[in-house]
Amino acid sequence: MKSLLRHLGRYTMLMGQVFRKPDKWAVFGNTLVRELQNLGTNSIGIVIIISFFIGAVLAMQTSYNLINPLIPRYLIGLLTRETMLLEFSSTIVSLILAGKIGSSIASEIGTMRITEQIDALDIMGVNAPNYLILPKIVAVLCFFPLLCMLSMTVGIFGGWVASVTQHLLTSSEYVYGIRYAFNSYYIVYSIIKIEVFAFIIATVASYHGFFVAGGSLEVGRSSTRAVVHSSIIILMFNLLLTKLLL
């Protein structure tokens, strides 16, 4: 408990330094563009691949379980859509990105810490947490909703490909299913969730990287801790947000 409070205190103080006016807006802008590329566009590939195959598998599994002739086949499309919108494209994508982006942030900042690059920033009079962490937070907050919507689209498309090529149902039945009883609030709900998860991933990983002490072994450990802790916090917030928003 004491350790948890200590971590919470240090995290809060770090965030206090992060959320300040940048020393130079032009430098912040350049760093933000670089982070958008590192953390955003470089994640597009993995999101497309995973979403496509999960969408396809969801459609196939739903089809194999819907053996009752009284249940309409278009439910395969509906269930694929609901799963992608409500859970996969926000929570599961965030858990995957916590592994990819979270470990990358923690190891990048951790390496800068142990090679004295953060000390160099401090000595120059640069607010190191603000310079290093704020662009990452803004970049993920900007890009994660796009990845979420991309995941929804690709996942539903993957379900359609599997349904049509495996002759599980016709294309028009699938399209009817994904349009049936559509609630646009689910997209808002999903985007709110992924924004919260993006913030958790960026800040928890930065926190673990920033306070690394020791050598390369510690950087590796902090990277692992960053992934584990952000995943647990994401799952806890998923429950809380679902209770609050649905």
Partner 1 sequence: MIEVSHLTKSFDSHVVLEDISTVFRPGQVNLVIGQSGSGKTVLLKSLVGLLPIEQGDIIYSDQSLKGMTPVHRKDLRRRIGMLFQGSALFDSMTVLENVMFPLDMFTSWNRTEKAERAQACLERVELPSAAALFPSELSGGMKKRVAIARAIAPNPDYLFCDEPNSGLDPLTSIVIDDLIREITHEYGITTVVNTHDMNSVMGIGEHITFLYRGHVEWTGTNRDIFHSGNEALDQFIFAAPWTRQMKK
In the complex, what is the shortest distance from the CB of residue 115 to partner 1, in angstroms, rounded to a whole number? 6
By CB under 8 A, tell whether 6 contacts partner 1: no
**How many Å apart are CA 122 and CA 126, to the nearest integer?**
5
Q: Which is nearer to partner 1, 23 or 185 (CB)?
A: 23
207: nearest Cα among 182, 227, 193, 190: 227
Would you call 1 helix, strand, or coil by DSSP? coil
Q: Which is nearer to partner 1, 24 or 179 (CB)?
A: 24
In the complex, what is the shortest distance from the CB of residue 2 to partner 1, in angstroms, rounded to a whole number? 18
By CB under 8 A, tell whether 13 contacts partner 1: no
By CB under 8 A, tell whether 8 contacts partner 1: no
Determine the interface stretch with partner 1 among 21-29, 80-88, 189-197, 216-224 (rule: CB under 8 A).
Answer: 21-29
Q: Do 74 and 174 touch, CB atoms closer than 8 A?
A: yes
Considering only 123, 232, 240, 244, the residue that binds partner 1 (CB under 8 A) is 123
By CB under 8 A, tell whether 19 contacts partner 1: no
Please give the residues from 62 up to 91 whose contact with partner 1 meets the rule CB under 8 A: none
Q: Do 156 and 177 touch, CB atoms closer than 8 A?
A: no
Helices vs. strands in the chain: H and E counts, helices first:
11, 0
**How many Å apart are CA 146 and CA 149, to the nearest integer?**
5
Q: Do 211 and 109 touch, CB atoms closer than 8 A?
A: no
216: nearest Cα among 111, 103, 117: 111
Determine the interface stretch with partner 1 among 64-72, 108-116, 135-143, 196-204 (rule: CB under 8 A).
Answer: 108-116
Please give the residues from 125 up to 164 whose contact with partner 1 meets the rule CB under 8 A: 125-126
Q: Which residues bind partner 1 (CB under 8 A)?
A: 23-24, 26-27, 34, 111-112, 115-117, 119-120, 122-126
